[in-house]
């Protein structure tokens, strides 16, 4: 059975976005975390489009491993980004709290 051309396009786009997400990932740089999120969102959208085109059982079976591998990559990178963003927010909150405590103590 031939693959649906749009299916291959969506899978290739998802793989490209996962690669872009990996390349943009830097837990110490909030802007790069945000860029990574954008790439992951694009990858997830492409995966969703690909899954909609795998209505035929044979198409789904032939691409299941590729789709599952991409889903795992998106989820793993997503968790890393969530953790980094939470860390950055925690630092910002801690810095704000320290300033408030110092100002309050001095005032």
Domain boundaries defined on the chain: 5-106
The predicted structure's pLDDT at residue 40? 96
Answer yes or no: is pLDDT of 23 > 50. Answer: yes
DSSP secondary structure letters along 1-14: -PPPHHHHHHHHHH
* CA 77/CA 2 separation, integer angstroms: 32
* CA 37/CA 34 separation, integer angstroms: 5
Angle between helices 30-52 and 57-106 (to 10 degrees): 160
The predicted structure's pLDDT at residue 3? 58
Answer yes or no: is pLDDT of 101 > 70. Answer: no
Answer yes or no: is pLDDT of 61 > 70. Answer: yes
- CA-nearest of 36, 39, 12, 38 to 25 is 36
* 81 or 63, higher pLDDT: 81
Per the prediction, the chain carries an average pLDDT of: 84
Looking from the CA of 63 toward its CB, the CA atoms found within 13 Å total 27
Lowest mean pLDDT among 31-35, 37-41, 59-63: 59-63
**Region of 50 on the Ramachandran plot (φ > 0 left; ψ -120 to 50 alpha; else beta):** alpha
């Amino acid at each position: 059975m031939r693959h649906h051309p749009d299916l291959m396009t969506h899978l290739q786009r998802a793989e490209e976005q996962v690669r872009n997400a990996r390349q943009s990932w830097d837990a110490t740089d909030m802007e790069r975390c945000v860029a990574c999120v954008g790439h992951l969102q694009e990858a997830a959208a492409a995966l969703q489009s690909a899954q909609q085109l795998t209505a035929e059982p044979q198409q789904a079976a032939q691409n299941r491993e590729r789709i599952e591998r991409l889903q795992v990559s998106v989820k793993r990178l997503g968790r890393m980004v969530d953790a980094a963003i939470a860390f950055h927010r925690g630092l910002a909150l801690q810095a704000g709290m320290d300033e408030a405590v110092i100002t309050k103590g001095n005032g």
